[in-house]
Structure 1
């Protein structure tokens, strides 16, 4: 797993998001082992507590689970959980504002669907 860190977001958040993306995109599969906290820390030259913060958020949400003495693994339901969370975020961040702006402009639902359909082609 290769994570590219940048300065725009906290490192723990970048690690968390890139693990999530790898699960959604199929690069990390259910029951697959992810790097340990120490592996993250060594590879990216960061404090282990930083890596631990990002991974623990995934553990708390049921995306990753720990096997004592063995490592951390992608949970069987991780992809489904992440997709459902992202759908909810998509609706609140993109769809609701889109519908509100369309209503302000007098765009009907049918016109909006037609506009979206043209973008898919």
Structure 2
């Protein structure tokens, strides 16, 4: 992953979202140690304090937990927490924007549904 310094999202948020995506993909699993702030700083060529802020965000959301002297680890419920939040916030926002744009473009529900199912069949996002 390459961080987007031109994005409206702060770098620390992009770091936290990248870690969440790695958890959702199963590349980082429950009770597994995650990258340290220094490893993340090296990987993404950023300040360690910025990486730490991204990790802290995930601790605050109970996706990660700290083991004193050992580092940060993935919480058992991390995947469920991420899925629930992304469905209720991110996906809902995207769907709302999509429906509003479809209405502006006079796309019928049937056309919109066909676009969605066609895209899903093609494996978008993979």
| Shared fold (TM-score, shorter chain, > 0.5) | yes
Root-mean-square deviation (Å)? 2.4
Question: Which of 35-44 and 109-118 deviates more?
Answer: 35-44
Name the residue aligned to 2:87. Answer: 87
Instruction: Quickly say closer, same or farther: Cα 1:114–1:39, change in 2 above 3 A.
Output: closer
Moved over 6 A (4+): none
Name the residue aligned to 1:12. Answer: 12
Q: Distance in 2 between matches of 1:43 and 1:117?
A: 37
Name the residue aligned to 2:63. Answer: 63
Equivalences for 1:1-121 in 2 at 5 Å? 4-9=2-7, 10-41=10-41, 44=44, 46-88=46-88, 89-92=90-93, 94-119=94-119, 120-121=121-122
Task: Report the TM-score when normalising by structure 2.
Answer: 0.75
Task: Report the TM-score when normalising by structure 1.
Answer: 0.77
Structure 1 runs not aligned, ≥5 long: none
* Max Rg structure: 1
Q: How much does 1:108 deviate?
A: 3.6
Q: How much does 1:44 deviate?
A: 4.9
Instruction: Quickly say closer, same or farther: Cα 1:104–1:60, change in 2 above 3 A.
Output: same
How many residues are matched?
Answer: 118
Structure 2 runs not aligned, ≥5 long: none
SS class of match (2:73)? strand
